Amino acid sequence: MASTLLKPTTHLQGHCSLPGDKSISHRLALLAPLAFGTTKIENFATSLDCQSSLDCMRTLGVNIEKEGNSVAIQGRGLRGLCETTAVLDAGNSGTTMRLLAGILCGQPFESQITGDESLRRRPMRRILNPLQEMGAKISASAHDCAPLKIQGGNLHGITYTPPMASAQVKSCVLLAGLFADGDTTVIENIPTRDHTERILPAFGVPVHREGTRLTVNGCIPLVSPTEVCTVPGDFSSAAFFLAAGMMVPKADLVLQGVGVNLSRIGLLHVLKETGGEIKLRNERLAMGEPVADIHITGIKRRTGKPLQLSGSIIPNVIDELPILAVLGAYLDGVEIRDARELRVKESDRIQLIVENMRRMGLEVTELEDGLQAAGNQEFRGAQIETGGDHRIAMAFSIAALVANGTTEIQDAFCVDISFPSFYEVLAHLTT
């Protein structure tokens, strides 16, 4: 598998736009087929993961036209998906598998979903429990993993408190709730990204919020939004360049049109608290989501305090923890706790972050639910083992920018899972 070589730099400057947000694009790809009318989308994510959502929907009989990042999806109504003998393939995408499972439980036919080797290792009991409680006939392998087998049918509303903070579980239950008799309520102990509850009203389905309770009423017909849906730039992709802006000496970056939904931008707050010179410009709304241009010009004054990441901020920064670990070791140290969920992402991210930090000559302690590393460490160029995990590849590509010597990122193009143009954007900003 192709690797890429990266060299240190002292320069990180320029403007760039990020690909469309992956979480929002998935939700559009999965909801538009259930609506009446055609949903027109601009800046749809370029990621392989979102392509998996579109491909599954095509296999389920949905007409989807795609030209570049513009997508038009012809809805078929709430129960209008078509039965297929093909096994649906969610690829590497946990969001596709878990959200689509909620939808398939409400369709009047039998279906199966599988995924790649990584996805077939990820836990599915977290969605089986609430879906079975709703009356769904869904089963998994002996280890509670994919492939999932579903005999769709009638569902009834439930009130469910997920035992882990997971937007995928919350969204799976709310989407199954679209097909249920009565109301479906999800109670979140710790809030997670709120894109599902923001997007459903755009399809004519109100979501009632009462503190930490979210409720949808079942069997309301979805209607395509009349306006074109323009997907904001992906904050989780922007995060790698924001962290780089804190590490590379001469940084002056403008990241244009980035989604700055509060349930996603914990990293921005962490960077600001660490002395980051970051300004939001041109703040606006797109599809009910806040969007801004983010300008970063490095660090004004080092606070000397380690990054402390634990408790309720964890779901907000869950996808940014690999790059925050790298950043902390470069700045004033880092402690990550309460992040067991990292062990069941596309890889065991705690283990791979620790392994690759050590390969770069950094001292780090692996904890069962996180890690700890001192700050001001010297990074050494190394061979990085990505384990096919896109966020590991990108986090250590940024570490390479401040390392002594050359860094080789193995299986580098796994970045295609979320950010296919990552290396081009990096080259553009560093030359």
Question: Applying CB under 6 A, which residues contact ligand S3P?
Answer: 23, 26, 95, 166-168, 171, 192-193, 318-319, 341
For the chain, the residue count is 431
Beta carbon of residue 94, minimum distance to ligand S3P (angstroms, whole number): 6
Closest residue to ligand S3P, judged by C-beta, is 23
Identity of the residue, 196 or 430, whose beta carbon is nearer to ligand S3P in the bound complex = 196
Residue 29's nearest CA partner among 86, 93, 87, 85 is: 93
Known active-site residue 319 = yes
Per annotation, catalytic residue among 49, 55, 89, 319: 319
| Contact criterion met (CB below 8 Å) for 47 and 70 | no
Identity of the residue, 23 or 52, whose beta carbon is nearer to ligand S3P in the bound complex = 23
Identity of the residue, 168 or 407, whose beta carbon is nearer to ligand S3P in the bound complex = 168
Task: Identify the sign of the CA torsion 160, 165, 166, 167.
Answer: positive
First and final C-alpha spacing in the chain = 26
| Contact criterion met (CB below 8 Å) for 97 and 148 | yes
Beta carbon of residue 85, minimum distance to ligand S3P (angstroms, whole number): 29
Identity of the residue, 45 or 331, whose beta carbon is nearer to ligand S3P in the bound complex = 45
Beta carbon of residue 236, minimum distance to ligand S3P (angstroms, whole number): 7
Beta carbon of residue 151, minimum distance to ligand S3P (angstroms, whole number): 25
Distances from the Cα of 5 to the Cα of 207, 300, 378, 397, 411, angstroms: 47, 31, 19, 9, 11
Beta carbon of residue 97, minimum distance to ligand S3P (angstroms, whole number): 11
Identity of the residue, 173 or 271, whose beta carbon is nearer to ligand S3P in the bound complex = 173
Residue 319's nearest CA partner among 415, 390, 400 is: 390
Beta carbon of residue 396, minimum distance to ligand S3P (angstroms, whole number): 18
Identity of the residue, 170 or 295, whose beta carbon is nearer to ligand S3P in the bound complex = 170
| b/e per residue 96-118 (b: at least 16 CB within 10 A) | bbbbbbbbbbbbeeebbbbbbeb
Q: Which residues are catalytic?
A: 319
